[in-house]
Amino acid sequence: MNNRYIIEAESLTKHYKMGSEDISAVAGVSVQIEQGKFYAFVGPSGSGKSTLLNLLGALDTPSAGKLNIGGEQVFDSEVNGKPSQRNLTAIRRKYFGFVFQNFYLLPTLTVKENISLPLLFTRKKIDPVHIDKILSKLGLEGRGRHLPSQLSGGEMQRVAIGRALAVNPQIIIADEPTGNLDSKNAALVFEVFKKLSQEGITVLTATHDVQLAQNFSDKIVRLKDGKIVEGEAGIC
């Protein structure tokens, strides 16, 4: 394990059964994620971006391969079986914040309540100053008492990023975070990710928007048919 890398994956594989057909969503991917960098995973639909992010984010278990997160061995198909859901939950709580394409804010909770929600599950005391700082960082001052229905799409996604930041994660996983946003708001979201990576948070995002990825991310990972495309078009 190299301290430079917060995530290390080796020959990571994920198979699905679809009827009698065996689908390889991720086919032996090896990747090393540097701490504090902004990674954009790009590729066409079905290329395995989201599945790979789910595996790297301990949301899903691989079919084979090795996965280390923060120096902890999460999965090694040669040594042990699948990790338990409890272990995966513990890993997620310890390292990750998640941002989704559809925001998934709870509609009856205010912006502040949505942001502080993960703290409820980590049994950490909710510090109002911490929540205010997050709001300020995301340009959401004055929106703390608003409900999600009173916000624009861009604002909702920033609240979702705030929710991911509430537990001070080392890594943020954002799967198609700009999929429901216009180009202006999409750029704003990527700008936030860029800033967060500069503060030392590792950001992994899947996107269709190559231009956006090129403009803001530190590294682009191209995927096709469940594999990282090597060479000039691969990690760059």
Partner 1 sequence: MNFFKLAFKNLLRRKIRTILTIQGIAIAIFVLFSLLSFQNGYKNSLTREMNDLGINILAVPKGCPYEAASLIVHGGVIPKYLDEADLKAISGIDGIELATPIFLSQIYEKDQERTSIIYGIIPQEYTKVKPGWKLNGQYFNNNDTAAIVIGNEVAYQEKLGVGDEVYFPSVGKVYKVFGVLERTGGQDDGFYFLPLAEAQRIFDKIGKITAVAIKIKDLTKIGDISKKLEEIPDIQVVTMAQVLGTILNLVGSARTLIFSVVLIALIIGTLGIVNTMFVTIYERRREIGILKAIGAGNFDVVKLIILETLIIAIIGGIEGSVLSFGGGHLVESFVRGVIPYAPKRMLFTFQFANFGIAIAYSVIIGVLAAIFPSIKAASLSPLETIRKDE
Interface with partner 1 by CB under 8 A: which residues?
A: 45-51, 54, 59-60, 85-86, 89, 92-93, 97-98, 100-101, 104, 106-109, 113, 116-122, 126, 163-164, 167, 175-176
Asked whether 186 and 211 are in contact (CB, 8 A), the reply is no
| Distance separating alpha carbons of residues 230 and 181, to the nearest angstrom | 30
Terminal alpha carbon distance of the chain: 22
Query: Given the complex with partner 1, which of 93 and 146 has the nearer CB atom?
Result: 93
| Shortest Å, Cβ 26 to partner 1 | 11
| Shortest Å, Cβ 108 to partner 1 | 4
| Shortest Å, Cβ 52 to partner 1 | 10
Query: Given the complex with partner 1, which of 32 and 100 has the nearer CB atom?
Result: 100
Phi, psi for residue 161 in degrees, rounded to 5: -65, -40
**Strand-strand pairing, 38-42 and 219-224:** parallel
Query: Given the complex with partner 1, which of 20 and 45 has the nearer CB atom?
Result: 45
Query: Given the complex with partner 1, which of 5 and 173 has the nearer CB atom?
Result: 173
- Cβ count within 10 A of residue 23: 15
| Shortest Å, Cβ 91 to partner 1 | 11
| Distance separating alpha carbons of residues 126 and 136, to the nearest angstrom | 17
